[in-house]
Amino acid sequence: METEGRLTRLASCAGCGAKVGAGTLVRLLEGFQTRGDPRLIVGYDRSDDACVYQINEHTALVQTTDFFPPIVDDPYLFGQIAAANALSDVYAMGGEPRLALNILCLTDQMDQKTVQEILRGGYAKAYEAGAVIAGGHTIQGAEPIYGLAVTGFVHPDRVLTNAAARPGDALILTKPLGVGILTTAAKADLVEQPVLERLYAQMAALNKTARDIMVRYPVHSCTDVTGFALLGHSYEMAQGSGCSIHLEAAKIPYHPEAYELAEMGFIPAGAYRNREYAGAEVKVGPAVTRALEDICYDPQTSGGLLMALPEGAAEDCLARLRETIPQAAVVGRVTERQAAAIYLD
């Protein structure tokens, strides 16, 4: 096998932008019946980041899987980003990842060195997370794909879900938005290298530090902001919690270059799927520009954590986060359910 050209050009879509739309998933699973288990604390019916199964009174198992086509051309970096993205689901549940399995699809255009570098990147990121990659499964296909199936652990009483936000909570987001827009424009060589390097470092960064700080505070609910974008994941949190979420546009962190590109129309297809899914329940204020609205629908790859916690604890939590994650920000609040699920003002 020989690699020809850029890795991203072997795939028709990239990163979490390849994710099937949330609305499509809802339709596919509608009426689908499965066996229940009283030890299954969180299952697929909750639209959460991972499933959680209680082993005993002190330990619950957190399990998830995530994989996607290349979002960067460097194979080692692709492995890092894909692994960080998969590990993030365990962090979003308040858990610690411990075991992982590779998921890999090869094409005829990929040489041995490329494949080994992808795997090496994944192993490096799993090692950083304190997890062991113990094996996996590889197939041949039309497009390259890499990711992990991850197992972690959490105390049953400390499981965080995306469906437990409470009125009066503040919302903290730990990574800036705009990943999908920038990576779409990068395919056309419209993003300068320093911006790409900043973006790549963000996507490869684990949410471990954010998780380790988060669990020291009375966080009620958490999710990671990935393929369904800030508005899609906020919508799931609002629906699951029976509340409304108010996002303050001026406080939402994003890459300024993404705003300029959004104004030019470089919007990934996933953003339109996210708008179709959540748009009917999103009320946008008159001062919010279309470009910023598009950024909030932009699918993120290896995005940050969105956590809901009492307003009185948010300031101290944010201060701790900003010691190592300077772009973390309070982006909104949770209220009693109102006419819409999400307000973007």
Considering only CA atoms, which of 248, 244, 268, 251 is closest in space to residue 341?
244
Cβ-Cβ contacts under 8 Å for 320 (sequence gap 6 or more): 213, 216
Residue 215 burial (CB count, 10 A): 17
Considering only CA atoms, which of 64, 48, 59 is closest in space to residue 99?
64
For the chain, the maximum distance between any two Cα atoms, rounded to a whole number of angstroms, is: 57
Distance CA 309, CA 210 (A): 14
Considering only CA atoms, which of 89, 42, 54 is closest in space to residue 227?
89
Cβ atoms 137, 102 nearer than 8 A = yes
16 labelled catalytic: yes
Beta strands across the sheet bearing 329-336: 221-224, 305-310, 169-173, 329-336, 243-247, 342-344, 282-284
Cβ atoms 89, 49 nearer than 8 A = yes
Considering only CA atoms, which of 94, 59, 57 is closest in space to residue 219?
94
Dig out the tokens for 140 from the structure. Answer: 């041949």
Amino acid at 210: A
Annotated active-site residue in 16, 105, 243, 317? 16
Catalytic residue annotation: 16
